[in-house]
Amino acid sequence: MESDKKEIINVATGDIELIKRIINRVNKVYKTKFKLVGSEERGGVEFAIIDRGEAGLDEIFLLGFYYGANVNELRNKKEIDW
The per-residue pLDDT for range 59-71, each reduced to its tens digit, is 999 999 999 999 9
Phi (first) and psi of residue 24, to 5 degrees = -60, -45
| Cβ-contact 39, 20 below 8 angstroms | no
- Cβ-proximal residues to 35 (8 Å cutoff; 6+ apart), any chain: 23, 50, 51, 53
pTM: 0.85
Helix (H, G, I), strand (E, B) or coil at 17: helix
Tell me the per-residue pLDDT of 7-18, one tens digit each, with 9 for 90 and over: 999 999 989 999
| Cβ-contact 53, 59 below 8 angstroms | no
- R_g of the chain, CA atoms, integer Å: 13
- What percentage of the chain reaches a pLDDT higher than 90? 87
pLDDT at 2 > cutoff 60: no
Sign of torsion over alpha carbons 53, 57, 59, 63 = positive
